[in-house]
Amino acid sequence: MKRLALPRPGAAAVVSVLSLALVTGCSDSGSDSVSGKDDKAAGKEPAAAAKTLSEGELEKLVIATADVKGFKVGPADQSEQFASSKEEIKVDDEKCKPVAYVLTGFAPGDSAAAVNRMAQEDPTAKASASPTKDLEDMTEEEMEDAMNSITDALGSTVTLVALSSYEGDGAKKTMSSLSTAIEGCGGGFTATAKDEPQKFKKVEAEKASGNGDESLAFAVTADSEGSPVVHAEVARHGNTIATYYSISMAAFADDAKVSDYDVPAALIKAQAAKLG
């Protein structure tokens, strides 16, 4: 089980605000998942998603850079300061554990296998963040444009995309447990990892994309300066659960609305397409 953190640059500025939410992980047996929408009418479930998949099979199905335009997809950075297993995550309210596990990159339930990737908006798709002049040679307007460009490049949304596979009705039970947790933990909870407590003051259901056999979206607000918000969506595709967990660096700027972003729809669409 790996412990993963948001890619640099930019993460350091957020760690002190939302340390637990920056943890992302699990690429061995373990998992990531969430829940929501009613099942589709019984019928066709993709053959790949309908069975219990191995880690190797999930590796072939998880999205890559070539699958989604405007994003770079790769492994997440590791950091020793974060929890390496679910056992290291302590939650003050037992029923809120599934939500806490999603925020730390671990599975709300027990999976047979899991893999993940970190996806970030491709800075090359935006204006160049590298000024063409030395600072001392810039006009005030050119300097402002350069700073805005750097902010754009570093302030993109970062998303952990994870796939996990379950035996029997494990995927459905996992979805159900997280749905119950979200409903029951609206008033928040406290999670502790590496002896560092993080209080979350609000958990709210959001409108999901509707992908998969059932899906759920939710937002979690941290009880810290600025009340930063992170977003997640999870969809079940047969026995496979796709988890999307997003945080926007730009949303933590003083002049930004911290709730003014979502899990990128392009990532959800691309991953759902690969799952059939």
Q: Is the dihedral of CA 200, 203, 209, 211 positive or negative?
A: positive
> Using only C-alpha atoms, what is the Rg of the chain?
19
24 vs 75: CA distance, rounded Å? 11
Q: How far is CA 145 from CA 18, 44, 142, 240, 256, in A?
A: 29, 52, 5, 45, 18
55-131+139-275 has CATH 1.10.3720.10 classification: no
Reading the block at residue 213, the tokens are 């056999």
Cβ-based neighbours of 108, under 8 Å, separated by 6 or more? 31, 32, 33, 34, 97, 98, 99, 101, 102, 174, 177, 178, 181
10-residue mean pLDDT profile of the chain (276 residues): values are: 35 37 37 35 51 93 94 73 73 89 76 86 57 63 62 67 91 93 94 84 94 92 80 92 82 54 93 93
232 vs 41: CA distance, rounded Å? 25
Cβ-based neighbours of 26, under 8 Å, separated by 6 or more? 1, 2, 32, 105, 106, 107, 114, 116, 162, 164
Q: How far is CA 2 from CA 45, 72, 82, in A?
A: 31, 21, 9
Quick one: pLDDT at residue 201? 92
Quick one: pLDDT at residue 21? 45
Reading the block at residue 271, the tokens are 């991953």
Q: How far is CA 15 from CA 133, 186, 191, in A?
A: 32, 23, 15
Q: Is the dihedral of CA 233, 237, 239, 242 positive or negative?
A: negative
132 vs 145: CA distance, rounded Å? 11
Cβ-based neighbours of 97, under 8 Å, separated by 6 or more? 89, 91, 108, 181
- For the CA atoms of 9, 264, 85, 26, the dihedral, rounded to the nearest 10 degrees, stands at -100
Instruction: Domain ranges for the chain, please list them.
Output: 55-131+139-275
Reading the block at residue 44, the tokens are 């066709």
What are the helix (H) ranges across the chain?
Answer: 11-15, 47-50, 55-61, 97-103, 140-154, 170-184, 265-274
How many CB atoms are closer than 10 A to CB 143? 15
In the DSSP assignment, the letter for residue 73 is E
